[in-house]
Chains A and B, each alone.
Chain A
Amino acid sequence: MSVISIARSKKQKTRWGEIVRRLEHGDVIFRALTVIAGVLVIGVTAAIGYELWQNSALPREKFGLAFLTGTNWDPVAEDFGVLPFLYGTVQTSLLALALAVPIGLGIAIFLSELAPPWLRQPIGFVVELLAAVPSVIFGLWGLFVFVPVFVKPLGQLLNQSVGWLPLFEGPVFGPSRLAATLILTVMILPTLVAITRDVFLAIPSSQREGALALGATQWEMITQNLIPYGLSGILGAVILALGRAMGETIAVTMVIGNNLDLSASLLHPGYTMASLIANEFTEATTDLYREALIEIGLVLFGLTLLVNIIARVLVWRVARRIPTEARA
């Protein structure tokens, strides 16, 4: 490089001549275009935050931080509080995560450690296809098949056996937070599996050989060596999946039952922040109402942003060299 630039500077007569020569070359234009496109990507990201902030000024002024703690959502009286939906989002996504993590880890272990090679590709492929199924089709299936066939009986069973827990209080509804939780569990599995499998595959085989040589069983090798070794990558995958679950909209809207009340029970219908926006946005007739919904979007944006940044830092730390999937 330096040889070239020295040669260049010797040829260069005037500054103007240099500029013309470079333009003829075309590189300056190309570089400028790539810079513009890059800045555009950054700009759009910033603009999303800016627009959400700018377009939620009315409720931010009127309610302040009470918006986050208010339990009343009354468009007629123009009183807006987001707590029931914040709770719905956190409850469904955390529970979905609690269910999906052991299953997802199991699949990733199966795919990277146990399955015979001829089985790895097909199963990995099926998991990837699961990620490609559109959310609205999950919702359709959930609404007409999954909820009546599986969720409602399960809810009744839970209510009868452990109904004294506030979490499983009756009466039992089909479309409920439980339905949303279970649908989310299925939907975030592919994210979890794809990343944790890559993390496992990136662990050097000397780790495995060492543990096995010391007399560990395969399971001990996995829990005592592989999981601690890849822990930050796995944590990253978990948190990324959490972000997924919190932002999932249409499928949740279709099975959660859409109820404004704050209730602890999983068997009751509810709302998440995303599903409330989806359901009410086009009905928002007043400016304050619409901007309150946009402010929910702002809260959701903030939450997912936080979650994603944490996840990226963790994943980057461990898996900087693994080519990650585009959808990861």
Chain B
Amino acid sequence: MQSTVSLLRLAPRDTARNYRTRRIVNRVMLVLCGLAALIAILPLLWILTYVLQRGVRVLTPEFFTHLPTPVGVPGGGIVNAIVGSAIVVGVACLIAIPVSLTAAFYVYARPNTTLGILIRFSTDVLSGVPSIIMGIFAYTVIVLTQGHFSALSGGFALAVIMTPIVLRTTEEMLKLVPKTLREGSLGLGAPDWRTSLQVLLPAAFAGVLTGIMLGIARVAGEAAPMLFTAFGNPFFSTALDQPIATLPHQIYVYAISPYADWQDKAWGTALVLIVLVLGLELIARGVAAWQHRKLHAR
């Protein structure tokens, strides 16, 4: 309605000229939109080529198998950060995945009860809280209680970041499963839990997996909450109650150091991290596309 009125406002007095201006405006603005799309592509290409170019120089087999060396000592690697990241992310998965999957079943089954609304609201809030706040949270809950920095606190912080991602995707994926499957299973006399775990979950499995992988990709790159939870560690450590090195934190430490050889290593570490994260992202998208096709082929 409103638009009809505003179109009438354009009603031509000098029709031909008016029409020409309108067409020019149209052209110009549409081209600008295309240019905007170009602007989005530019930084990604710039970052990727630069990380690749600078990082490849540093990558040697030794880089993956050795501990960091002090400033000025050539060689050295980031094996402690690779293992550390794996441990911290592993802890995060162990905490976040069971909780968010189970909670997702509640939200799926009864989204509009008070509890369901509260859970969905909390999920939204959690996904908007800055990751550094999660770091402070893990610090006050675990580090202050334990009295020292630890891999466990880092994993806990990441778990809180990961929970809303996995919960939301799982809920969406469960919703995509055809209702008839659930009704069929219940109709055959299967109890709700059997239906959920043996019918719904397998049907939504690829989607749930996608959510988990996206969650891992997201938290594996988080440096901010690591600053005062996992804290970093120049030595090899697998202990949960000790400080531990992680890839993103290592990049941060190397990058803001004044030493050229450490800065080089920052690029190498960044290449390792970006390959891991973007690789996971690509696999996740692939799985999602495959699942999509499978569901629609029926």
Contact = CB atoms under 8 A, between A and B. Distances in A.
Contacts of B29: 219
A223 to B, nearest CB: 8
A136 B221 contact: yes
Interface in A288-328: 294, 297, 300-301, 304-305, 307-309, 311-312, 323-324, 326-327
Interface centre among B130, B191, B267 (most CB of A within 10 A): B130
A6 B9 CA distance: 65
Contacts of B112: none
B273 A218 contact: no
A92 interface: no
A45 B122 CA distance: 6
B224 A249 contact: yes
Contacts of B192: 27, 30-31
Nearest to A186: B43
B47 A137 contact: yes
Interface in B84-129: 98-103, 105-107, 109, 115-116, 118-119, 121-129
A115 B37 contact: yes
Instruction: Give the bracket for the number of chain B residues in contact with chain A.
Output: 35 or more
Given A217-B23, A249-B130, A327-B165, A42 B44 contact: no
A110 B34 contact: yes
B191 A114 contact: no
B191 A137 contact: no
Contacts of A145: 46, 50
Interface residues of A, number: 100
A309 B169 CA distance: 20
Interface stretch (A9-17, A65-73, A125-133, A154-162): A125-133
Given A137-B274, A300-B133, 16 more contacts: A26-B191, A37-B98, A38-B102, A38-B106, A107-B39, A126-B44, A129-B281, A130-B40, A133-B277, A133-B278, A135-B223, A193-B40, A219-B30, A247-B129, A247-B130, A282-B227
| 10 A-B pairs closest in CB distance | A247-B130, A134-B221, A106-B36, A30-B193, A308-B128, A37-B102, A34-B106, A217-B26, A249-B224, A37-B103
21 contacts: A27-B191, A38-B119, A46-B122, A47-B141, A106-B36, A109-B33, A114-B30, A130-B40, A132-B278, A136-B249, A137-B51, A137-B221, A193-B40, A210-B3, A219-B30, A220-B26, A250-B252, A281-B227, A294-B140, A297-B133, A305-B129
